[in-house]
Each structure stands twice: as C-alpha cells, then as structure tokens.
Amino acid sequence: MDSIPVSYLLALSAVLFVLGILGVLLKRNALVVFMSLELMLNSGNLAFISFARSFEAISAQVVVFFVMTVAAAEVAIGLALMVEIFRTKHSIDLDQMNSLKG
Amino acid sequence: MLVVFFILAFVAVGTAVSMLVTRSSIYAALFLVLNFATVAVLYLILGAPFIALTQITVYAGSVVVLFLFVIMLLGAERLPGGESLKWQRLVAIGLAIVLSADFGVKMIGENTMLTSVTAPPEGYGAPAEIGKILFTKYAFPVEITAVILLVAVVGAILLAKPDEKPSVREGLRKKMDQEG
C-alpha cells in the first residue's frame, strides 16, 4: 500500500483556494460569489485535516468542526441579506449594488 | 491509494472549475455538492470519518439546499452575461497566478518537515475520540459556537422578516400618544 505525500494534499488545497479567489473576483452573481467563499473555507479545512493526519494532532479536526459551524451560520445570515437586497433592488448582480458609491 | 487521490483531486478541481465556468446558478450549486462530496471522501482517506460525515450533512445537506432554495426563490437561475469591466478579468487572473506562486514557494520551502500519509491507525479520528476532546478540552469554544448559531438564527429571522404594515405601526404610535 503506497502513501500520499502531504504536499500533494496541500497543493490540491491551494488550487481549490485559488479557484475560490478567482470566483470571488470574477463572478458578478452574488450567490456564486458566496459559493466560491464556501469553496475557500473548504480548501482551508482540507489543509487542516492533512496537517492533522501528518502530525497526528486530533485538535485540528476539532478546529475544522468549528469552522464548519461558523460557515453554516455565515450562510444563513448571508442568504437572508441576499433575499433582503433582492427585495429592495430586484437584482443580485454585484455591479448593481453601488448605492454607497460617491 | 495515490491513484484514488489523483482521481479525487481531478474530480474536485474539475467541479470547482465547472462551478466557475457555468452560467447557471443551479448547476453551480450542484457542482459545489459534488466538490464537497469528493473532499469528504478525501477526509475519510485522511482518517477523519466524523468530519467527513459532518461535511456531507452540513455542507451538502443544509448549506447547498439553502443555496438552491434561495436561487429558486429569487428566480436567479440565469443572469444576463457580458462583462462590464474588461481589465477586471486580467487583473484577477494575474493576482491568482501571484497567489499560487506564493503558495508554491512556501510549500517548497517547508517541504522538509512534510511527510507522507498512509492508512490511518485503528481508532484515529473516531467519533468517540473527537467527542471526548470536544466536550473536555474544547468545552468553552463549543458553548461559544452555540451562541454564534443562536445569533445567526435570530439575525436571519430578523433580516428576512417582512416589514410590518405601516398601519400597525401608526396604530401603536397613536395608542402610545393617547396613553402618554
């Protein structure tokens, strides 16, 4: 049985994180930007779990559990905000959200 | 094991890219589910079964369902295309290349302390073990998480609640004026 180098896992995590960054920077649909945020949180979790296995540290898995909880709370609040913005502006295009622009 | 990792990595990166490329928000959410599921399988390989199943229930089960619900509620399946800022895409891709180069340099620099992982030892990351540490060493953070979730629920209800009818508010104000 062969093994997986931890650097491969970290590379996968980095690639997923960069893809999430690209989504946040490029997409104009606010919901897809939110999904990209989740992708970034998820890649951070993957790095945490890889280090947990590498250093045999069970605490890192607990940290991932907390990150998941906070992400779930964030999604609940964020989507409620999105519904509220849609109610006032009738669009979730990020380019339309420029009311505070000077 | 390495072959399984490469297949999973391919699927994970492929679904992430498809999520960004597709124009339909529904497809993006469904690709996100697939991405979370492949990462959950990776967690299983890395000896974190509890986290893997939490990932499936919390992310694929509730977060993405919430996303789909909001997408269909708002009717935002498809946004009109067309870029308004041409330079934005170039700058974003440049920044992404810089960021990945930074990650790569860091990883090569730290390569000496990184090992390879094999199949996890028996009982590593078992739910009982996680639960034990969660409710002894990390009992206080668990309580804080409970408060965060409560605040999130109250905040979400407060934000999504429809405005009270003005007549109700007027009536209350008149009543208070009469009393006061």
ipTM (interface pTM): 0.90
Residue A53 pLDDT: 87
- CA distances (Å), origin A16, targets A46, B7, B45, B50, B87: 10, 15, 18, 22, 23
Shortest alpha-carbon distance between residue A60 and chain B (Å): 10
- Rounded Cα–Cα distance for residues B160 and B121 (Å): 47
- Chain B residue numbers with beta carbons less than 8 Å from the beta carbon of A82 are 70, 74
3-class SS at A92?
Answer: coil
Cα B33-B38-B43 angle, rounded to 5 deg: 120
Cα A57-A60-A65 angle, rounded to 5 deg: 140
pLDDT in tens, chain B (180 residues): 788 999 999 999 999 999 988 888 899 999 999 999 999 999 998 888 999 999 999 988 889 999 999 888 888 777 655 556 678 888 888 888 898 888 888 877 776 667 777 777 777 878 888 899 999 999 999 999 999 999 999 998 888 777 666 666 666 667 777 765
Instruction: Check if B131 contacts A (Cβ < 8 Å).
Output: no
A1/B118 touch (CB, cutoff 8 Å), yes or no: yes
Helix B25-45 to helix A6-26 angle, to the nearest 10 degrees?
A: 160
Kindly report the pTM of this predicted structure.
0.86
- Chain A residue numbers with beta carbons less than 8 Å from the beta carbon of B122 are none
Compute chain A's Rg from CA coordinates.
Answer: 17
Structure tokens at B96: 């992404």
Instruction: Check if B99 contacts A (Cβ < 8 Å).
Output: yes
Q: What residue spans define the domains of chain A?
A: 28-90
- Rounded Cα–Cα distance for residues A24 and A89 (Å): 21
Instruction: Say which of B39, B74, B107 has its CB closest to residue A83.
Output: B74
Instruction: Mark the ranges of chain A whose per-residue pLDDT is less than 70.
Output: 1, 101-102
Structure tokens at A36: 């990209």
B46/A93 touch (CB, cutoff 8 Å), yes or no: no
- Rounded Cα–Cα distance for residues A35 and B26 (Å): 11
| Dihedral (CA of B106, B108, B111, B116) sign | positive
- Chain B residue numbers with beta carbons less than 8 Å from the beta carbon of A67 are none
- In the block, which residue shows the tokens 């209350």? B172
Shortest alpha-carbon distance between residue B11 and chain A (Å): 11
Shortest alpha-carbon distance between residue A99 and chain B (Å): 17
Instruction: Check if A5 contacts B (Cβ < 8 Å).
Output: yes
- Rounded Cα–Cα distance for residues B22 and B19 (Å): 6
- Smallest CA–CA distance from B137 into chain A, residue: A59
Structure tokens at B40: 């959950």
- CA distances (Å), origin B26, targets A31, B15, B84, B150, B152: 10, 13, 23, 29, 25
| Dihedral (CA of A38, A39, A41, A46) sign | positive
Query: Which runs of E-coded beta strand occur in B24-161?
Result: 116-117
Q: What is the DSSP letter of B113?
A: G
Instruction: Check if B116 contacts A (Cβ < 8 Å).
Output: yes
Q: Over the stretch B64-81, which tens digit does the pLDDT of each residue have?
A: 999 999 888 888 777 655
Q: What is the DSSP letter of A93?
A: B
